[in-house]
Amino acid sequence: MKIRKSLMTLLGVFALTHLAPVDAHAAAQRGASKKASVAKESPARATKLAKAAKVVAVRPTKPIKFARAESRRVKASHLAHAAPAAQRSAPVAAPDMDNEGNPLLHSAAFMIADQATGSVLLEKNSDAVLPIASITKLMTAMVVLDARLSLTEVLLVANEDVDTLRNSSSHVPVGTELAREDMLRLALMSSENRAASALGRNYPGGLPAFVAAMNRKAAALGLRDTRFADSTGLNSANVSSARDLVRMVSAASRYPLIREFSTTANYPVSLNGRVRQFNNTNALVSSPDWQIGVSKTGFINESGKCLVMQAWLLNKPMIIVLLDSFGRFTRVADAQRVKRWLESAAVQQKVAAAVRTPST
């Protein structure tokens, strides 16, 4: 029996090494039957073989995927080189610029002007007559200073100064006594309505006389679209246009105290024996990137968010008026867009001047 098995083994080896290759189809059938028999004998081994077959089946797909990706990259590269030069070099507008290179501002009405020359650099709806809210306080300050009233005189915040129109809050309680100078500072810096009301109420002749003086001042400055009804801006009847406000900001910039108080970042005030710090409503006055000469913010529902500034840009005094901005940060973001736009224009001008200037 052992001799028979040995002879069969030798014959099998001889057939594998010396006989011609068998038909591929027959070999496949024999391989399949062998796998089936192995699976019957050992389920664990069958599972192992199946896993190995799966791995082998997956491996060849990797080079194919890589080749297709390479093909796409080569095709894209080819198309890029094949595209006309004009198409490849076409300028793409920045996200905050229009096709003409002007900033896309989100304020409903605005004007940006060169204060030195009076030339208007950018405008939209600049003649629209709109409520101006606390921008009013710039005129309040000018009328107070024009009257040459004592800045050291102590004024009392009374019940008449409480906002009953909009029920707005205040950090200045009734009964507070402050010098007129501090009232002026709080009105301009922190837009304190009670301080602005006290300033108007303590004018010779009272608040009606003060409002009349505000409107006379507006007429003297040539502000044809501007009218005032109170000293705070809480009344929506206080209206103006962006064009008029450029003139009003320019006039306010001639008052040293308005420049100082409207751009003070913060200021501590003693209120009834307790020190409280007041902050500027315009965060840009604290930014090292800005050199601001005059600043005033404003907001009531009818006006939206407003911001006016005199700022030094391109080494020039520029006036920025932004009215009816929707959203908490829109007016500041618009001011930043204006700044980037002006600085970008300056860079282009410098490059153009360098090209025109012959080398020596």
User: What is the Cα–Cα distance from 122 to 164, expressed in whole angstroms?
Assistant: 38
Query: What pLDDT is stored for residue 8 in this prediction?
Result: 52
- For residues 193 and 71, which has the higher predicted lDDT (pLDDT)? 193
Residue 71 resides in a domain: no
217 assigned to active site: no
Which residue type sits at 68? R
191 assigned to active site: yes
User: What is the Cα–Cα distance from 296 to 20, expressed in whole angstroms?
Assistant: 100
Asked whether residue 236 carries a pLDDT value surpassing 50, the answer given is yes
Residue 30 resides in a domain: no
Per-residue model confidence as pLDDT tens digits over 23-47: 444 444 544 444 444 444 444 444 4
User: What is the Cα–Cα distance from 295 to 282, expressed in whole angstroms?
Assistant: 7
- Percent of the chain at pLDDT > 90 equals 62
User: What is the Cα–Cα distance from 84 to 80, expressed in whole angstroms?
Assistant: 9
Query: What pLDDT is stored for residue 26 in this prediction?
Result: 45
Query: What pLDDT is stored for residue 95 in this prediction?
Result: 59
In sequence order, what are the residues at sequence separation of 6 or more whose Cβ sits closer than 8 angstroms to the Cβ of residue 303?
130, 131, 132, 133, 236, 323, 324
Specify whether the CB–CB gap between 346 and 312 falls below 8 A.
Answer: no
Asked whether residue 15 carries a pLDDT value surpassing 50, the answer given is no
For the chain, the 3-state helix, strand and coil shares in percent, each to the nearest 5, are 50, 20, 30
Range of lowest pLDDT (126-130, 210-214, 242-246, 336-340)? 336-340
Query: What pLDDT is stored for residue 42 in this prediction?
Result: 45
Per-residue model confidence as pLDDT tens digits over 107-148: 999 999 999 999 999 999 999 999 999 999 999 999 999 999
Q: Give, in order, the Cα–Cα distances in Å from 198 to each of 73, 174, 194, 274, 327.
A: 72, 11, 6, 20, 30
**Which of the residue ranges 4-18, 69-83, 149-163, 262-276 has the most confident prediction, judged by mean pLDDT?**
149-163
Task: Outline where DSSP puts E strands in 257-357.
Answer: 266-271, 274-279, 292-300, 304-313, 316-325
CB atoms under 10 Å from CB of 203, counted, come to: 21
Asked whether residue 232 carries a pLDDT value surpassing 60, the answer given is yes
137 assigned to active site: yes
Query: What pLDDT is stored for residue 63 in this prediction?
Result: 36
User: What is the Cα–Cα distance from 143 to 149, expressed in whole angstroms?
Assistant: 10
Asked whether residue 55 carries a pLDDT value surpassing 70, the answer given is no
Residue 67 resides in a domain: no
Query: What pLDDT is stored for residue 225 in this prediction?
Result: 97
User: What is the Cα–Cα distance from 253 to 310, expressed in whole angstroms?
Assistant: 7
Specify whether the CB–CB gap between 299 and 331 falls below 8 A.
Answer: no
Asked whether residue 21 carries a pLDDT value surpassing 80, the answer given is no
- For residues 312 and 95, which has the higher predicted lDDT (pLDDT)? 312
User: What is the Cα–Cα distance from 162 to 320, expressed in whole angstroms?
Assistant: 31
Residue 288 resides in a domain: yes
Number of domains within the chain: 1
Query: What pLDDT is stored for residue 353 in this prediction?
Result: 59
pLDDT band for position 350 (50/70/90)? low
Residue 75 resides in a domain: no
Residue 97 resides in a domain: no
Query: What pLDDT is stored for residue 79 in this prediction?
Result: 34
- For residues 237 and 62, which has the higher predicted lDDT (pLDDT)? 237
Average pLDDT, the chain: 79
Burial 167-199 (b: 16+ CB within 10 A, else e): eeebebeeebebebbbbbbbbbbbbbbbbbbbb
Query: What pLDDT is stored for residue 97 in this prediction?
Result: 73
Per-residue model confidence as pLDDT tens digits over 66-117: 333 333 333 333 333 334 443 433 444 455 777 777 888 999 999 999 999 9
| CATH code of residue 128 | 3.40.710.10
Residue 25 resides in a domain: no
What DSSP state is assigned to residue 288? T
Range of the domain at 220: 107-356
End-to-end CA distance of the chain: 111
Of 107, 137, 190, 262, which one is the catalytic site residue? 137
- Closest among 224, 264, 227 to 247, alpha carbons compared: 224
Query: 115 by DSSP, 3-state: which?
Result: coil
Of 126, 170, 190, 191, which one is the catalytic site residue? 191
> According to the annotation, is 296 in a ligand binding site?
yes
Residue 253 resides in a domain: yes
User: What is the Cα–Cα distance from 227 to 321, expressed in whole angstroms?
Assistant: 17
Asked whether residue 212 carries a pLDDT value surpassing 90, the answer given is yes
Which value, to the nearest 10 degrees, does the dihedral of the CA atoms of residues 160, 163, 167, 168 take?
A: -140
User: What is the Cα–Cα distance from 81 to 227, expressed in whole angstroms?
Assistant: 63
Query: What pLDDT is stored for residue 102 in this prediction?
Result: 82
- Closest among 302, 163, 168 to 239, alpha carbons compared: 302
User: What is the Cα–Cα distance from 340 to 330, expressed in whole angstroms?
Assistant: 15
Q: What is the DSSP string of 191-250?
A: --HHHHHHHHHTSTTHHHHHHHHHHHHHHHTT-TT-B-S-SSS-STT-EE-HHHHHHHHH
